[in-house]
Amino acid sequence: MPRRWGLLAIAAIALASTSALAGLFSTVLSDADAKQIKRLAVVSALGDILHARQVGLTVFQNRSFDTVVPNWSLDAAVTSQLKETIVASGRITGEIVPLVVFPPDKKTLLATARAQGFDAVLAVLPEENVHDSSIVPGAILLRRKLPGVDKLYPCNGMALRMYRVADGRQIGFAVPSACSDMPKALVWHDAWTDFTTDEKSMTLDAVKFYIRQQVGMALVSVNISAP
Provide DSSP, 55-89: E-SSGGG-EEEEEE-TT--HHHHHHHHHHHHHHHH
Q: Can you give 153-174 as a three-state secondary structure string?
A: EEEEEEEEEEEECCCCCEEEEE
Which one-letter DSSP state was computed for residue 45? Answer: -
Which one-letter DSSP state was computed for residue 179? Answer: B
pLDDT by residue (tens digit) across 12-60? 334 433 333 434 478 999 999 999 999 999 999 999 999 999 999 888 8
d(CA 213, CA 104): 22
pLDDT for 4: 42
For each of the chain's 227 residues, which pLDDT tens digit applies?
444 434 333 343 344 333 334 344 789 999 999 999 999 999 999 999 999 999 998 888 899 999 999 999 999 999 999 999 999 999 999 999 999 999 999 999 999 999 999 999 999 999 998 888 889 999 999 999 988 899 999 999 999 999 999 999 999 999 999 999 999 999 999 999 999 999 999 999 999 999 999 999 999 999 999 87
d(CA 144, CA 69): 23
Q: Which amino acid is at 45?
A: A
Q: Which amino acid is at 191?
A: A
97 - beta bridge partners? 41
